[in-house]
Each structure stands twice: as structure tokens, then as C-alpha cells.
Amino acid sequence: MERCPFCGWQLISCSCVFKKLGYAYKEKTWDEETKSLRGHPTCGLPKDVYEKGLPPKQEKKWHKILEKKGRIPYIVYPLLCSRCGEHWPDFFMVPDDVWEHYVEPMERDSIICMPCFREIVTLIDGDPDVLALLNDKAILHFHG
């Protein structure tokens, strides 16, 4: 996500755009008592802008303001399997004791892809229970 050069937050979710364009933007605040957001119903913005976003003219103006300030280029640092270098491997989870049994201390904070982990298990002791666990993708995958 591109960062906002004014506040450092994600550009698409910060409110600098409204402030810089001169709107009286008012952040809604969380109200502990009623467990809901409170504040101005349209955050101090014209209803149209609040509901549909900026008109194209203002959008352009905002882009000029951004350009002038200097945009922060979004640079991707891909996650790699630390063994085979696979980009963005599917994440999976195994119990800590299993992880520590197979993965050497220096690599325990690394990302290891499923095929590599399976290979490591096979190389070390080939524990059939662990290998069965690794085949049960439905339980292990929480992403991808």
C-alpha cells in the first residue's frame, strides 16, 4: 500500500486528502459507553463527498498536492521461503513443539514453505504422524 507523505498512514485510508483540500473533516471517535462511533454523521464532509468520494476535479487537485509533496513509492519486499526461495509461500501452522523439533534454532523465525517443511521432516525422522498432519491442508492453511 502506498503511504501518505503527510501522515505516514496508508494513503487510501487516511483523511489528509480532505484536510488538504480544505474540508472541515472531523474524525469519528469510538464511544466506549455506547460501543459505537460517534461524531458528525458525514465526518464534516458534504454528503456527496462522504458517500461517493471526491469529484474528479478535486481528485486531480489532490494528486497535484501529493506530487508536490513527493509521493512515497511503494516498494514490495516479498516473503520468501528461507530454504528454496519460493515467493509468497502459503502459510501453514504446526504446533510449536513440532516446529522446534524439526527446524534448527537459527531458522525458527524464518518462513518455510510447506513442501520444504515436508522434506525436512522426511530427512530428519519421517514421523508419519507429522507427515499426516502436513497433508491435512484444511486445518493447517489459514491463508492462500
How many Å apart are CA 93 and CA 37, to the nearest integer?
A: 36
Min dist. Cβ of residue 53 to Zn ion (A): 16
The reply on whether position 43 binds Zn ion by CB under 5 A is: no
DSSP string, 103-129: S-GGGTTS---HHHHHHHHHHHT--HH
Question: Which of these, 104, 106, 99, lies nearest to 133 by C-alpha position?
Answer: 99
- What mask, x for binding Zn ion by CB under 5 A, covers residues 76 to 115? -----x-xx-x--------------------------x--
Backbone torsions φ then ψ of 29, nearest 5 degrees: -120, 150
For the bound state, the minimum distance from the C-beta of residue 63 to Zn ion, rounded and expressed in Å, comes to 14
- Applying CB under 5 A, among 80, 98, 116, 120 the residue interacting with Zn ion is 116
Please select the residue that binds Zn ion; options are 3, 14, 71, 120, rule is CB under 5 A.
14
4 binds Zn ion (CB under 5 A): yes
102's grid cell: 524439526
Using CA of residue 15, residue 20, residue 21, residue 23, what is the dihedral sign?
A: positive
Q: Which is nearer to Zn ion, 4 or 134 (CB)?
A: 4
Q: Is residue 72 close enough to count as binding Zn ion by CB under 5 A?
A: no
- The residues that touch Zn ion, with contacts defined as CB under 5 A, are 4, 6-7, 14, 16, 81, 83-84, 86, 113, 116
